[in-house]
Amino acid sequence: MTELPTGTVTLLFADLDGAAELARSLGSGYADVLGARRGLVRETAGSFGGQEVDSRDDELLVVFERAVDAVAAAAEVQRRLEGAGAPDEISRNRVAVHTGTPIPAEGSYVGLDVQRVARICDAGHGGQVLLSQGAFELVRDADPSWGFVELGELELAGLPRPERIVQLRAEGLVDTFPPPRTAAPAPAEEAPLPQAGALRVAIADDSTLLREGLASLLTHAGFLVVGQSGTADDLLLKVRSYEPDVAIVDIRMPPTHTDEGLRAAHALREQHPEVGVLILSQHVETTYATDLLADNAEGVGYLLKDRVHDVDEFVAAVHRVATGGTAFDPRVVSALLGHGAKSGGLDDLSERERAVLGLMAEGLSNGAIAARLYLSLRAVERHVGSIFDKLRIPSDAEGHRRVLAVVTFLEGLT
């Protein structure tokens, strides 16, 4: 066995973002994915002078004598995993680089520096390369083609002090990611006062408790709740009077508790097309969903009421519908898919592209789709571009290409 270098060295730690879920979804195929990705990382790191220290499941630890070689290897690993022909699953690779003095023990390293590089990697997302402050200081001027993004000091699980983290930017790498994952709990905040220009919301539900709960939740999120209604007729009056950006409407309302809310939604779409409509329901009603889509899929949403329990997702859905986007509950989309109907231009889409487009219909961003499907952001962007091309949505199309693609998808299911 080759003796490991001692003293100050640079560690490269790589794993797969969402490996546990990927293992569940792939079953026995998980081993093949790990093998392909491990071989690529080993080969690439070795070509830059890296020496493999340890590997287990999706994790690999490699040591370099020079920080610049470790960072160059990290960038090249990500390029190759993002490249044409690479399986989507292994593009979820994320890498951390840290310079320190780990303790050699039994052919490997132990100590806080090993823990540190692993925790820095935990903070990242698929496709990302993160550097500790120590590694960054050694390479900041090493290559003029490299750029760096300061992510600040982060509390990372098990470490005695906050760590200053830096993201590498280089040609061929994705450079936009969600905020880093951190062990620090979000501080409690008081509900903010609505700001000038805040999105305006009207809420219609015959349950006073639900109305008040939604109003409180949305006010805390920065919306301006301009009206609450217990009947469909009162909702229409409040929309005319207060001109909200979006109306949240229960399907079943007094007096018959059948489809009063749906009929009010149709009236809003006809009389106030600038107002988004988000339907809330206890159940998946494919007939109601297709009726709603018959008008226009822009600025429309259909969520089940239990979706409100995921506050961040619900708030994001209200915002999307208020600004002309879509938000369809995953179970509604699944029911529409099962409902089966004309396929139109959807026949040319691959299975993966249909999955991506279905999540677009739910209203997910590219980053959220990447997390849901365990793909890299770059892979999702490639699929989205292919979807636009196959559905013949030109880059200069009026309106949002994303919304037009979702409209085509939903119309194809109805």
Q: What is the pLDDT along the chain (414 residues), one digit of tens a residue?
A: 578 999 999 999 999 988 887 888 888 888 888 888 899 999 999 999 999 999 988 899 999 999 999 999 999 999 988 764 556 666 688 999 999 999 998 889 988 899 999 999 999 998 999 999 999 999 999 999 999 999 988 888 777 788 899 999 999 888 888 889 876 544 444 445 555 578 999 999 988 888 888 998 899 888 999 999 999 999 999 999 889 999 999 988 888 888 888 888 888 988 998 999 998 887 766 565 556 655 566 788 888 887 777 788 889 889 988 988 877 777 766 665 544 444 456 677 888 888 888 788 776 778 888 888 878 888 888 888 888 888 777 765 544 566 666 666 665 554
pLDDT value of position 235: 92
pLDDT value of position 196: 58
* pTM above threshold 0.85: no
Alpha helix stretches (DSSP H) within 222-350: 232-242, 260-271, 286-295, 311-322, 330-339
Could you give the angle at which helices 260-271 and 232-242 cross, rounded to 10 degrees? 20
- CA 247 – CA 130 distance, rounded (Å): 42
- CA 309 – CA 363 distance, rounded (Å): 17
pLDDT value of position 409: 63
Could you give the angle at which helices 208-220 and 311-322 cross, rounded to 10 degrees? 80
Tell me which residue of 303, 277, 281, 307 sits closest to 292, measured CA to CA: 277
pLDDT value of position 34: 87
CATH number of 200-413: 3.40.50.2300
pLDDT value of position 28: 86
- CA 29 – CA 22 distance, rounded (Å): 10
Q: What count of residues does the chain have?
A: 414
Domain ranges of the chain: 9-169, 200-413
CATH topology match: 9-169 vs 200-413:
no
Tell me which residue of 124, 19, 5 sits closest to 74, measured CA to CA: 124
- CA 141 – CA 171 distance, rounded (Å): 16
pLDDT value of position 187: 47
pLDDT value of position 359: 83
| Fold (CATH) for 9-169 | Alpha-Beta Plaits (3.30.70)
